[in-house]
Amino acid sequence: MAIRIIALLAIFLTAATGCFGQEADEEFSDSSLTREQWQQRIQDARRRSEEFVANARERPQDPVTPAQQETEAAGRALNDPTLQQGDVISTGKGFVVFVGRDEEHRPNDFVTTPNQQHPR
C-alpha cells in the first residue's frame, strides 16, 4: 500500500509540476524569490501533497485475488537470486526443482517433480 501511495504521489507531483510549475517558473525564477515567496511555494507544495495522499487513502484499493497472490509469490520464488541447485519451489502448477546455476534464471533451469500422492 505504501508503495502505491508513493508511486501515486510521484506521478501527481510530476504532473503538478508540469501544469502548475510552468506558471510559477515563468513568474519567479529561483534566484529572484524572496524568502517569503520561497516558503509560500513550499507550503503550497506540501498542501498539494497532503491533499493527494489523503485522496489516495480514501480511494478503495482493488482487492487482490488469491490467484494473483499465488502468481506473484511463484514469480518472486522463481526469480530469487539466492536459489541453489536442488531447491524445491511450490507453484500453482506443482513443485519444481531448481537445477540452474546462474542468478538469472531461465525456464529450463527448473524441472517438474514427479507427481506424488500424499496421504491425507
pLDDT in tens, 42-99: 999 999 999 999 888 888 777 888 888 888 888 888 788 888 888 888 887 788 888 8
Q: Report which DSSP code applies to 95.
A: E
> pTM for the complete prediction?
0.41
List the domain boundaries for the chain: 2-58, 66-112
Q: What is the pLDDT of residues 13-56, one digit of tens each?
A: 777 655 555 555 555 567 788 999 999 999 999 999 999 998 88
Per the CB < 8 A criterion, the answer to whether 16 and 44 are in contact is: no
Shortest CA distance to 87 belongs to which of 97, 78, 74, 76? 97
Whether the CB-CB separation of 110 and 94 falls below 8 Å is answered with no
